[in-house]
Amino acid sequence: MNVIKKNLPFLFMFFVLIIFYSIMLTAYYNDLINGFVYIGVMIVAFAIMLVPLIIFRNDRKRVRRFSWIALYLGVLLCFETPLLWYESNTYMVSQHAEPIEAFDNSGIHLMLVTTFEIGYLEDKELIMEGLQQDNLDIIDLYKVTNKIRYRSKNSEILRWLKIQKDDFTIMKDNVTRYLVDETNSIDDVLNRNDISGDSVGLGLALSGLIGEGTLENNLTFGVTGALSATGDVKAIGMIKEKVLIAAEHAYPYMIIPSENAKEANEVKKMHNLKVEIFDVNHIDRAMVLIKELNEDHAK
């Protein structure tokens, strides 16, 4: 009981610190404050935390206890400070990109989207006018929220610490494992360094199956979808852009993840597109679909 009583001030301050951090992070994550306010308040809190260390500098026990709190806050501050590097990004721009075939004449076209970020400007109409004056083939503008900044920062830190691989590397590993290393026909794309994300996984695996002779196809498909090592097809981002690009290239068919089906069909309806959209949740279903459509077309 005496031990708890002696450590009560320390435990109270540690509890207050956790509550304080949680409140500030929640406010930032929900766009109630910007990164400069968030980090600025944390710096002030860290400075205040140093005061007890100075006051009780001759009391080793108290200094040791408060040092742990200061250390914890300092680690949090170092972890969050990189957010300031993302603060200038206000909008993300998506624009048309040319689909590619990983295996020539496979009929499987990988849907790509080019993106870049706009800094400091907040006026969406002004940004769009400037992009149009530059004759850029823009599809849409997306507001960069603090939620996006925070996730980007965390992913970058994890990659820097070698804890997490980037999405393209993960996709490459999954496709290679699914094809049991039979990737010769698609190695050129797997080894490219100008493609990001994991949305070409399904298309690459289908291309690899065609390249090794396991699957035959004489039709034209736009294909997008992330792929697990066991063949499960997962949701991808920017489905709107990919559906529009497939329609622009007059692809008769498009295969997408089932998780993206609702949004894709809304885009199709809104823009009155002719492309026929099929959604799958596993690559086996995509293979069956391709075989059935080829058989129907051959009749």
Domain boundaries, the chain: 2-86, 99-112+165-298
Of 244, 224, 221, the closest CA to residue 233 belongs to 224
- Take residue 55 and report the two structure tokens written for it: 């006051």
- pLDDT per position as a tens digit, 57-96: 776 776 777 778 888 889 999 999 999 999 999 999 998 8
Q: What is the pLDDT of residues 27-44, one digit of tens each?
A: 999 999 999 999 999 999
Please name the CATH architecture into which domain 99-112+165-298 falls. Answer: 2-Layer Sandwich (3.30)
Specify the pTM: 0.85
pLDDT at position 228 is 96
Work out the mean pLDDT of the chain and round it to a whole number: 90
| Phi and psi angles of residue 129, each rounded to the nearest 5 degrees, phi first | -60, -45
How far, in Å, CA of 266 to CA of 272, rounded? 10
How high is the pLDDT of residue 80? 96
The predicted pLDDT at position 128 comes to: 85
Low-confidence ranges of the chain (pLDDT < 50): 1, 3
